[in-house]
Homo-oligomer: A and B are copies of this chain.
Amino acid sequence: MSPAADDEDAPALVYVIGRVNQGIRREMQGRLKEWGLTIPEYTTLSVLRRRPGLSNAQLSRRSMIMPQSMIEVLASLEERGLVRREVDPDHGRILRAELTDDGRAILERADPVIDAMEDAMLADVPARQRATVLKALISVMNRLTTGLTEEAGVTGRATRSPR
């Protein structure tokens, strides 16, 4: 039949991101199993190291999931002593989370393994392009967080779309 020439139209970005995510998920799951960590657990630990004191509600908004989903991750981490939660002094309802020493330790051991994975999968992408890719994806992430129907609000107010 006709040789080649049928690969000119590229796949959609949403498709490629989905596949990449699925590949990353499989790799991470296998590597994190050694420490009994699930992917959202590892991710949450990482976020809490960078942003200590975030509440469940704040964490869930950052992850674009419902607070009912995040609470389960947090509960599991707290139960195992990897995360500690303390009442906010200014608001008795809010519980602010932070890493325990155990949490920090397990993260420091898992990190190099995940970093190596990221390096391996980026092997063919020149360093200069990596910055561009990361910046573009962060921009997409922010769009998705603030809502796709919102106007191009330059002031990054975390608006939640009214129901």
List residues 43-91 of chain A with CB under 8 A from any CB of chain B: 43, 46-47, 50, 62-65
Q: Does A29 contact B (CB under 8 A)?
A: no
B24 pairs with A14, CB closer than 8 A: yes
Number of interface residues of A (CB under 8 A): 56
With a cutoff of 8 Å between Cβ atoms, the chain B residues found around residue A120 in the complex are 143, 148-149
Q: Does A158 contact B (CB under 8 A)?
A: no
Residue from the list B26, B62, B123 in contact with A143, Cβ < 8 A = B123
B27 pairs with A144, CB closer than 8 A: yes
A156 to chain B, nearest CB (A): 12
Could you say which of A15-23, A93-101, A102-110 contacts chain B?
A15-23
B125 pairs with A139, CB closer than 8 A: yes
With a cutoff of 8 Å between Cβ atoms, the chain B residues found around residue A24 in the complex are 14, 17-18, 144
Residue from the list B15, B62, B132 in contact with A46, Cβ < 8 A = B15
A21 pairs with B23, CB closer than 8 A: no
Q: Does A38 contact B (CB under 8 A)?
A: no
Residues on A close to B: CB < 8 A? 9-24, 26-28, 39, 43, 46-47, 50, 62-65, 114-115, 117-118, 120-125, 129-130, 132-134, 136-145, 148-149, 152
